[in-house]
Chains A and B, each alone.
Chain A
């Protein structure tokens, strides 16, 4: 696409226009991940420093591995890559299936948080 084309695009594509690419295009039409449920605050860490392109991995998969060199939540990945959460969940399922990322489910889905967690949050907030 030429530069001119891009600027013309920006004139009519604003937030109200909605997604320009249908949300599940980057997942090959899949709406559900092959594995995992992925809460919005599940924490994702890459298991490798980088991944070379291979069959079945698109640029969005590689972008997630790059982003998750530092631990990120599912919500943060979606926000940084500007993709809907549902799309990110499908991509994460692919990455988990290849052991390219590690998922830490939030404490709260395991059970009611421990007393020590409440105290740590209170102390942490006071120290802000």
Chain B
């Protein structure tokens, strides 16, 4: 950490920009595993604390004695270049924390919805959420050992997805597989963006 101001990037260069992608899905589907597989460091954990100022909008009936609620989010960083940093955020699984989802999805370029074919219904809330918000997303089916393999069109039909939404198989533990999922997502998000722009 021993450098002077002169070694900082010159002001004329592009200012650094951060963008984010969300990784959503049911509990235990491999969100943090995927974030860790492709990030440059092990996943970090950050916490939002819901305090008294927020209890008016949150149903705490039955837990009156509890003063604060903590929502943990795991995330990772991929430095694309000196002036572009990509952050991957695993969304908190608990459905009652939608207010955190709203904050996370604000400005996200897209979302990966991880699915487990043994518990497909677990990813419904995530899909509903991103469809409702208009956030570009894809469904990545994490291939767990011992799970019966379905064809991708079967998954697509079971989820009643728009045919434009990419559905692919992945191994959340594998860096190359997680990379491919992210590339497919960003390509999809770019298409969605261009389509919206031409409508405007």
Contacts and interface: CB of A to CB of B under 8 A. Distances in A.
Interface stretch (A4-12, A53-61, A67-75): A67-75
Contacts of B183: 122, 125-126
- The interface size bin for chain B is 35 or more
Contacts of A39: 106-107
B112 to A, nearest CB: 13
A39 B77 CA distance: 15
Contacts, number: 137
Nearest to B194: A115
Given A23-B49, A118-B189, A124 B19 contact: no
Contact of A75 (B51, B75, B189): B75
Contact of B109 (A73, A108, A125): A108
Contact of A104 (B15, B20, B103): B15
A115 B47 contact: no
A15 to B, nearest CB: 9
16 contacts: A23-B49, A39-B106, A43-B16, A66-B1, A75-B44, A76-B44, A78-B46, A80-B44, A85-B47, A85-B48, A86-B49, A104-B16, A117-B19, A118-B193, A125-B78, A126-B183
Interface of B: 1, 4, 15-20, 38, 44-49, 51, 53, 67-68, 70, 73, 75, 77-78, 80-81, 84-87, 89, 103-104, 106-109, 175, 179, 182-183, 186-187, 189-190, 193-194, 197
Interface of A: 18-19, 22-24, 31, 39-43, 49, 66, 69-71, 73, 75-76, 78-80, 84-87, 104, 106-109, 112-113, 115, 117-122, 124-126, 128
List 7 A-B pairs, minimum CB-CB distance, nearest first. Answer: A108-B107, A124-B80, A79-B44, A41-B18, A118-B190, A84-B49, A107-B17
